[in-house]
């Protein structure tokens, strides 16, 4: 090695070391920031723990213990009682019926908006209204229906005076069938919110290819559109079913004829003076409800993951 090379080599080595160390500093800073990134999930984790995990544990625990704290299967055995089974059946058919009606009507609304620009006034109005009405429930929704088609409702009295027909005859609004209309009321906008992104993701190139190959609009929907949208539609239907099955506030404010669905059955087991000593039955009912909703949401996640493949 010459004297010149001996002089340059250490300097080159120092330069290489400095160059090699430069990317390490940002990497260390990113690692330091990453080590604290989990703090951003803390509020959500606390929320899930307090409002989901803890109630689930309490429901399971209360369903497996009696009022004296002794372990028992008697509460779970009560789930086989014909009255309890009828309660679960009422919740099931009510949720399924309103989910199907809401899914079909919501899908038609989405189809009607398919050709509209996302920034158009109609599309913006429908999206905003759907976001609001999907959350419009509980006492407010019950009061709205009582004030319009209840016994002394505005529409009821108008129709009665004009035609002599009593829309509230028999008090059906306050019985189990009376929950169908209020449930559909918030199911349709929820369907619009969940299904519109899938419908908007249909690629125009697919329709163009169908026309190029001699297809028609009907053949596009039967061979491309409906098969592609089927997983998303089913996922939205499952979400609507779970939404209706777990709904409580609207039914509690509207229904006055006993505990005909599971959420009202839980309330009755906790508060009714005729079932004293059976408070833990509420835990068993909640456990059964958790199992059903859990299965539905698991199926929703499976179907949704399949539907997301072509939306990516």
Instruction: Tell whether the model's pLDDT for residue 155 goes beyond 90.
Output: yes
pLDDT at 27: 58
> What whole-number distance in Å separates Cα of residue 150 and Cα of residue 168?
6
Instruction: Tell whether the model's pLDDT for residue 312 goes beyond 60.
Output: no
Instruction: Tell whether the model's pLDDT for residue 1 goes beyond 90.
Output: no
Tokens coding 32? 């330091």
pLDDT at 4: 40
pLDDT at 10: 47
> What pTM did the predictor assign?
0.80
Q: What is the mean pLDDT of residues 114-133?
A: 86
In this structure, of 9-13, 45-49, 65-69, the range with the lowest mean pLDDT score is: 9-13
Looking at 3.40.640.10, 3.30.70.1400, 3.40.50.920, 1.10.3720.10, the CATH number of the domain 81-311 comes to 1.10.3720.10
> What whole-number distance in Å separates Cα of residue 74 and Cα of residue 161?
55
pLDDT at 36: 75
> What whole-number distance in Å separates Cα of residue 109 and Cα of residue 305?
24
Residue 113 near residue 196, CB atoms below 8 Å: yes
Q: Which residues contact 94 (CB under 8 A, 6 or more apart)?
A: 176, 179, 180, 183, 244, 261
> What whole-number distance in Å separates Cα of residue 226 and Cα of residue 194?
16
Separation of CA 238 from chain center = 8
Tokens coding 70? 């002794």
199-210 residue pLDDT tens: 888 888 888 898
Tokens coding 87? 């309660």
185-226 residue pLDDT tens: 999 999 999 999 888 888 888 888 988 888 888 888 888 888
């Amino acid at each position: 090695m010459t004297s010149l090379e001996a002089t340059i080599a250490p300097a080159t080595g120092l330069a290489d070391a400095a160059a090699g160390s430069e990317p390490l500093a940002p990497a260390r800073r990113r690692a330091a920031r990453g080590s604290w990134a989990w703090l951003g999930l803390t509020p959500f984790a606390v929320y899930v723990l307090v409002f989901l995990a803890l109630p689930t544990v309490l429901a399971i625990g209360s369903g497996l213990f009696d009022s004296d704290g002794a372990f028992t299967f008697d509460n779970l055995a009560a789930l086989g009682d014909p009255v309890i089974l009828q309660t679960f059946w009422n919740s099931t058919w009510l949720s399924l019926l309103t989910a199907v009606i809401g899914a079909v009507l919501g899908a038609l609304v989405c189809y009607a908006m398919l050709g509209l620009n996302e920034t158009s006034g109609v599309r913006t109005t429908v999206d905003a209204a759907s976001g609001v009405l999907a959350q419009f429930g509980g006492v407010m929704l019950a009061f709205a229906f009582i004030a319009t088609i209840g016994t002394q409702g505005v529409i009821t009295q108008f129709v009665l005076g004009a035609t002599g027909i009593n829309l509230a005859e028999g008090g059906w609004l306050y019985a189990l069938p009376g929950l169908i209309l209020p449930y559909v009321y918030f199911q349709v906008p929820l369907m619009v919110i969940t299904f519109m992104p899938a419908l908007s993701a249909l690629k125009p190139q697919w329709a163009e290819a169908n026309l190029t190959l001699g297809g028609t609009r009907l053949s596009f929907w039967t061979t491309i559109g409906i098969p592609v949208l089927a997983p998303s539609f089913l996922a939205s239907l499952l979400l609507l079913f779970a939404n209706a099955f777990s709904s409580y506030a609207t039914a509690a404010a509207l229904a006055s004829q006993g505990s005909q669905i599971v959420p009202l059955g839980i309330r009755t087991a906790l508060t009714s003076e005729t079932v004293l000593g059976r408070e833990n039955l509420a835990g068993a009912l909640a456990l059964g409800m958790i199992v059903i909703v859990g299965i539905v949401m698991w199926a929703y996640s499976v179907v949704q993951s399949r539907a997301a493949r072509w939306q990516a």
